Amino acid sequence: MRIGVPKEIKVHEYRVGLTPASVRELVARGHEVIVESSAGVGIGASDDHYRRAGARIAEDAAAVFAQADMIVKVKEPQPVERARLRADQVLFTYLHLAPDPDQAHDLLASGAVAIAYETVTAAEGGLPLLAPMSEVAGRMSVQAGAHCLEKAAGGRGVLLGGVPGVEPARVVILGGGVVGSNAALIALGMGASVTVIDRSLPVLRRLTERFGTRLVTLHASDEAIETEVGGADLVIGGVLIPGAAAPKLVSRALVGGMRGGAVIVDVAIDQGGCVETSRPTTHADPTYVVDEVVHYCVANMPGAVARTSTYALNAATLPHVLAIAERGWQHALREDVHLRNGLNVCAGKVTHAGVAQALGMAAHDPAGGTRPGRAARPLTRLLRPRRDAALQPRFKQP
C-alpha cells in the first residue's frame, strides 16, 4: 500500500503522523511511504532521516495526497487538505467531528474512508489511540494553568503550591479519566489542593487508591460543581463522551461567579468544550478573558511538546496502520471491531453513532443493521473486499 504523510498545517502544530522508525517498519513489510518534505522538522526528523528509513520525499502536500492510498496524519484535515481527499482514500487521524460540521460535510462529500484515532477502542476498554495524547494534555493542563495564574498572564497572582504560611491554589478537575488523573498527578506534585469530580464511583475509588487522602474526590452533582468551581483558582475540564460533544458542565452564570483572575483550562475543547464560555484557541493566541476569568482552550495542546507526543502517539497507532496496510481497510475493519469503532465517515455516510447524534445526522452501520438515532439504510457491503485492483494493498515486488 502507498501511505502518505503530509506536513501538519494547523497553527503551531509540530507533530507528524509517522516517525522514521514507523516508516522503517512499513517499508520492511513491502509498503511504500511518501513523506512531504520537512514534515518531521518539528520532532527533529529531517528528510534524510526519512530517506534512510526508506521513505520517498515529496515536494508538497498535493503530491502526497495524489499518490497515497492512505493518509496518516495527527490533526483533523484543514479545508485545503479536505479538498484533496478522494473517494475510497483512507484517512487515519484525529477528527473530532462532533463540534465541527464543516469538516464533517467536507469528508462526506469527498467519499473518503475516515477513521478517527479518538474513537478506536480496545478489548480491555478505553480509547488506546486517544490515551497517549490525553496523558500529555492532562499533564500540560496544570503547567498551562499555573502560568495563567501569574499576574502578568492575567491571573490572580497565585503560586500553585503556595509557600509555608500561605495556602496553595485550589485546583478543581472535572472528570477523573486519563486527562483528569494525569492532571491530578502533576497538580498534587506541585503542592496544590486538588479536587476531582466525576460521576463514576469506581473511577473515584481508583483515584483514591492511587493518590490517597491527599486528593479529594467528589461525586458529580450540580451542587458539587457549583460549590467547587465557584471557589477554585484553577478549573481543568477533562470530560469525554467518545465521539460525542462534551457536556456543558460549567454554565456562563457559574463562570460569572468565579473569582476574578481564576483560570479555566478546557482540555475537552476538541469535542466542543465542557464550559459554556469555551471556544477553541491556538498556541499563537492561547487565552482570552470572560467575566475576569482567564480561559485557556488550545485545541492541540500536545503539539507544543511535539517530540514526546509524536513518539507516544506512534507507539499506539502503528499496529493499526500496519493492519490497514497489510489487509486493506475492508478486511482490517471487518476483522477488528475495535478498529471498526474508529470509522466515522465512509462513502458519504456517517458511521459513528455519537458523531451522528452530535451532528444531527443519520448513523449508518457498515457491518449491517442500524445504530441509534434516525432510521438509516445499512451499508453492509462497504466492508466486503472489492476486486478493483486499484483498491487493493500495493506491495513492492521482491
SS3 392: coil
Please tell me which residue in 100, 106, 233, 270 is annotated as part of the active site. 270
CB 183 within 8 A of CB 139: yes
In the block, residue with C-alpha cell 493518590 = 211
- Indicate the residue type of 66: A
pTM of structure: 0.88
How far, in Å, CA of 48 to CA of 67, rounded?
21
Q: What is the pLDDT of residue 367?
A: 63
Dig out the grid coordinates for 289 from the structure. 478573558
Residues of the chain with pLDDT under 50: 369-378, 386-398
Catalytic pick from 31, 69, 96, 365? 96
CA 314, CA 23: separation in Å to the nearest integer? 10
Report the alpha-carbon distance of residue 385 to residue 2 in Å, rounded. Answer: 18
* Residue 365 annotated in active site: no
pLDDT given for residue 368 in this prediction: 56
- Identify the CATH assignment for 136-299 out of 3.30.160.100, 3.40.50.720, 3.40.50.300, 2.40.50.100: 3.40.50.720
Residue 379 is predicted with a pLDDT of 54
Ranges of each domain in the chain: 2-120+306-391, 136-299
Annotated active-site residue 60? The verdict is no
Euclidean distance between CA atoms 30 and 66, whole angstroms: 20
Supply the pLDDT for residue 172.
98
Do 2-120+306-391 and 136-299 come out as alike in CATH topology? yes
Q: Whole-angstrom Cα distance, residue 252 to residue 59?
A: 47
CB atoms within 10 A of CB 241: 14
For 188-217, how does the pLDDT look when each residue is reduced to its tens digit (9 = 90+)?
999 999 999 999 999 999 999 999 999 999
Superfamily of chain region 2-120+306-391: NAD(P)-binding Rossmann-like Domain (3.40.50.720)
Structural element, H or E, at residue 109 = helix 101-110
All cell numbers assigned to 383: 466492508
> 85, 108 in Cβ contact below 8 A?
no
